[in-house]
Amino acid sequence: MNRPPAHPAGHPLWPSLTAPADQGREDLCAVSAHGVRVRFADGGELLDGSSGLWNTNIGYGNEEIARACADALREASYLSVFRYENTYARRAAEALIEACGPAHYGRVLFSTSGGAANDLVMKVARQYQALRRQPQRKVVVGLRGSYHGLTYGSFALTGDDLGQQLYAVDQRFVRHVTPNEPAELAALMARQGGQIAAVVVEPVLGSGAVPLTDEYLAELLRLRREHGFLLVADEVATGFGRTGSLFASQEWPEQPDLLVSSKGLTNGTAAAAVVIASRQVADAFTEAGSVLTHGETQAGTPVTCAAILATLAEMRRLDAVALGRRLSARLDTELAALTAAHPRIAGTTGQGCFRSVRLCDPDGTPFPQEQVHALVQAIREAGAIVHPGVNGVQLIPALTYTDADLDELLARVLAGIELHLARTAAEAAGAAA
């Protein structure tokens, strides 16, 4: 019998952002998830300290969301919002506008991921400016250190260097400025304000878990009034209770023109995202009778919209935003104590239930970024799932964590840190010998 040659990694799956040496490992192949724990093919069960990919905000296996998705699949199977509408999408849009604030927001565009939604944002912003008879406004501004996705438009906007030049990503109409540096933003506006269509910000920046300061937000809002760009809040990670309110931007003195949500939008159960447009932006398209050229086959389908509706309902039933605020207060206390007690923990950053722990070397220099992958692996061995951060790791617990869950997470993270430090010390001793 003729057989195909063996796959180089031993199996057909090519997982995302995974080194070839780690592909095919049974301890990295998840088989089930319930509550805040994930079981793997090697039999191990780990406490999830990352809420999946920042998206299972109310834990795994929610029965009401599962039931709503199953009912939608039986009743409607597939219906689109591509040249048509469907009742599920209408209901989800109405519920989202009500949750975000109907006095300011007017319409909802459906997408399938945070990256694709940020591509959509750039289209909306540029077409909106053209409708205002300012077609020269094509530049979109992001922040250094930000993460907006890896599709071509969002990859251009992402402020971390993740290989954009290698992939020939076109960044000619994108600029980046340093977060929380108001003078730098003002200087860019003084030079190019008439060319800027939008400024896109995460209320808490990606990998570093760095919140925007009140001073920076005040200047950003002032510059919007002066220069007329659209302000976009990318709340893919911060939305759905992650930072103490349903959306972080709801606490801003003025609301953004476009709000992006994904991840927690369906509690991680469906490939769904939305761009929620202010009445001002939506009205510009309606009054001009202008069609936005964008569409995605799986956007706004019955199953994704049923998941959105059920997630909103479960967030209300569980009072998940209040649970998150309570958990955040405990994190404040426990992380401060951890930092004070451990000489290799340089500090913590973040807001709400979106945190990072940063380490340092004995001389106080930042923990080497090239060692973060090994640190994450050591914490896995200690029993918890975390993702890499800047000079350390991120802690993104579910809003539904109990006190015992949080105690366990911090204990396992600390054990993993100690394991990694012991290994590096042994390696250094061996090299010296």
How would you classify the pairing of strands 45-48 and 37-40? antiparallel
Burial of 403 (0-12, 13-18, 19+ CB in 10 A): exposed
Non-local (6+) Cβ contacts of 93 within 8 A are 107, 108, 110
- pTM, full prediction: 0.95
- pLDDT per residue over 108-132, tens digit each? 999 999 999 999 999 999 999 999 9
Instruction: Please report which residue ranges of 249-301 form alpha helices under DSSP H.
Output: 279-288
The beta-strand segments (E) located in 334-433 are 345-351, 354-359, 384-385, 387-389, 392-395
Please, are residues 270 and 307 in contact by the beta-carbon 8 Å criterion? yes
Q: Fold identical between 63-318 and 319-432?
A: no
Helix, strand, coil percent content, the chain, rounded in steps of 5: 45, 20, 40
Other CB atoms within 10 Å distance of the CB of residue 28: 15
**Low-confidence residues in the chain, pLDDT < 50:** 1
The beta-strand segments (E) located in 371-427 are 384-385, 387-389, 392-395
Please, are residues 257 and 74 in contact by the beta-carbon 8 Å criterion? no
Question: What are the structure tokens assigned to 216, written together?
Answer: 């920076």
Q: Nearest to residue 235, comparing CAs of 266, 262, 272?
A: 262
Question: What are the structure tokens assigned to 56, written together?
Answer: 């299972």
Tell me, which fold does domain 63-318 have in CATH? Aspartate Aminotransferase; domain 2 (3.40.640)
Q: Nearest to residue 175, comparing CAs of 153, 160, 159, 194?
A: 159
Compute the distance between CA of residue 339 and CA of residue 360 in angstroms, rounded to an integer: 11
Instruction: Indicate the average pLDDT of the chain.
Output: 96
Other CB atoms within 10 Å distance of the CB of residue 180: 16
Please, are residues 146 and 205 in contact by the beta-carbon 8 Å criterion? yes
Assigned CATH for 319-432: 3.90.1150.10
Q: How far is CA 153 from the centre of its chain?
A: 16
- pLDDT per residue over 209-225, tens digit each? 999 999 999 999 999 99
Domains of the chain, by residue range, sit at 63-318, 319-432
What strands lie across the sheet with 196-201, from one edge to the other?
Answer: 105-111, 273-278, 258-261, 230-234, 196-201, 139-143, 174-177
Q: Nearest to residue 334, comparing CAs of 397, 248, 419, 244?
A: 397
Instruction: Please report which residue ranges of 30-135 form alpha helices under DSSP H.
Output: 51-54, 63-76, 87-100, 114-131
Long-range contact set of residues 365-371: C-beta below 8 Å, sequence gap at least 24:
366/391, 367/391, 367/392, 371/420, 371/424
pLDDT at 4: 55
